[in-house]
Amino acid sequence: MIALLLLLVRPPQAVVIATPRGLTSVPVSTDLGGAAVAEPLLVAPLGVSLVMEGTRATVTLGGAGFVFELGVPYVSAGAAVCPLAGEPYMARDTLYLPLSWLAECVPRALAPRYRWDAAAARLDVASPPLAPPSPPNPMTGLRQHHTIVIDPGHGGRDPGNPGLYFPEGRTEKDITLAIGKLMRAELLRRGLAANLTRSTDTLIDLADRASYCREACDLFVSIHVNAMPPGRHSTRATGIETYFLSEAKTEDQKRVAEMENDAIRFETDSPRLPAGGLGTILKDLQLNEYLRESAQLAGLVQGAVARVHPGEDRGVQQAAFMVLTTARRPAILVETGFATNRDDAAFLASALGQRKLANAIADGVVAYLLEFERKVAGAQGGGGPGR
């Protein structure tokens, strides 16, 4: 604990510390054997940390270390030494510091951010200056660091859809992994960070996939391959569609969500289908603050992929995908084409097709991030970027 020892002729009743986060009042009293003593200084609002080593106390404030010696009326900050109006001392578990440290030494060491207003007995702490906007990445135009999590659908004992027209016994899980790896390589090449939920033929529970995208992650892209159930026209359906999480409005959207959510039956240890089934998923939706962002991301990815895909542009769709419900970032699911259509399947299974798809999804992601950076810069009145 730290307290202020007050050695002024007419001491203030309290010292106010004004930071961008708010005001903290540190009461002071003057009746300890003639010496002035404050209540313990509140540690958290100042960001103060204290280390005691014998009679030496190191107080870190505003990124600077102040070294006190008990009973010595000086404090050193780096190479500079600042005289104090009194001596620091310990009483019980509290370190008492002369107020002149806060009034004179701190503003001197940390100018111009820390300023002492003697009339108001107030220490004003300004916000740290905004980092100057970094120059845009020449390849993408992005100024900030971004991390994307790529989720190749299915894996391990869950093959995904069997891939009616894929060669050599390949299934959906092989195609999604190939596209995911290429997309990661492409994003890295453009200077973004990208992680895969799986980089091998392994199964990850649906509810766990989006958890790969948390603090240091900007968005989540799940990659899948579509299929039509057997029927008269099952081989006709073709093309690309991009989903964001919402309530399915059409039978076709319901079909795709049920097909992808069905992967849960491969999860051996007690599948975690929410107790209320889809109802619970939809309730989760209302908690998802990223719906609008996800829809925008879906639109930009869909537009980019539709330009390179030989099949139909089936547009942006919405449905309740388990894999997207736990996302706490903008999240989409790309159905990259139909394994039940000969042309789509050939495109999806070819190295060139996979590369085109991966690059196009990366194009959509970068376009979204550029809009995002513009929006954030606008919200800050044209000031520095950041989130």
Binding site for Zn ion (CB under 5 A): 153, 160, 224, 260
Q: Cβ neighbours of residue 250 under 8 Å, at least 6 residues apart?
A: none
Q: Which residue has the tokens 């578990």?
A: 93
Q: In 118-246, which ranges are E strands?
A: 122-125, 147-152, 193-196, 219-226, 240-245
Q: Which residue has the tokens 């790969």?
A: 212
Q: What's the closest the beta carbon of residue 327 comes to Zn ion, in angstroms?
A: 16
Tell me the sheet residues that pair with 224. 335
8 Å CB contact between 214 and 328: yes
Cα–Cα–Cα angle for 338, 340, 345, rounded to 5 degrees: 60
Q: What's the closest the beta carbon of residue 348 comes to Zn ion, in angstroms?
A: 12
Residue nearest to Zn ion (CB): 224
- What is the rounded distance in angstroms from the CA atom of residue 106 to the CA atom of residue 203? 56
Q: What's the closest the beta carbon of residue 44 comes to Zn ion, in angstroms?
A: 48
Considering beta carbons, is residue 102 or 206 the nearer one to Zn ion?
A: 206
Q: What's the closest the beta carbon of residue 280 comes to Zn ion, in angstroms?
A: 21
Q: Exposed, middle or buried, 376 (CB in 10 Å: 0-12/13-18/19+)? A: middle
Q: What's the closest the beta carbon of residue 147 comes to Zn ion, in angstroms?
A: 24
Q: What's the closest the beta carbon of residue 262 comes to Zn ion, in angstroms?
A: 9
Q: What's the closest the beta carbon of residue 379 comes to Zn ion, in angstroms?
A: 36
8 Å CB contact between 245 and 285: yes
Q: What's the closest the beta carbon of residue 153 comes to Zn ion, in angstroms?
A: 4
- What is the rounded distance in angstroms from the CA atom of residue 190 to the CA atom of residue 184? 10
Considering beta carbons, is residue 218 or 260 the nearer one to Zn ion?
A: 260
Q: What's the closest the beta carbon of residue 17 comes to Zn ion, in angstroms?
A: 56
* Secondary structure letter of residue 167 according to DSSP: S
Q: Which residue has the tokens 């009293």?
A: 29
- What is the rounded distance in angstroms from the CA atom of residue 148 to the CA atom of residue 369? 10
Q: What's the closest the beta carbon of residue 166 comes to Zn ion, in angstroms?
A: 13
Position 289, amino acid: E
Position 329, amino acid: R
Considering beta carbons, is residue 349 or 366 the nearer one to Zn ion?
A: 349
Considering beta carbons, is residue 160 or 180 the nearer one to Zn ion?
A: 160
Separation in Å, CA 348 to CA 51, 67, 356, 357: 61, 65, 10, 8
Considering beta carbons, is residue 146 or 209 the nearer one to Zn ion?
A: 209
> Using only C-alpha atoms, what is the Rg of the chain?
30
CA proximity to 108, closest of 75, 70, 151: 75
DSSP states along 304-362: HHHHH-SS-EEEEEEE--HHHHT-SS-EEEEEEEETTSHHHHHHHHSHHHHHHHHHHHH
8 Å CB contact between 124 and 117: yes
Separation in Å, CA 252 to CA 262, 328, 330: 15, 26, 23
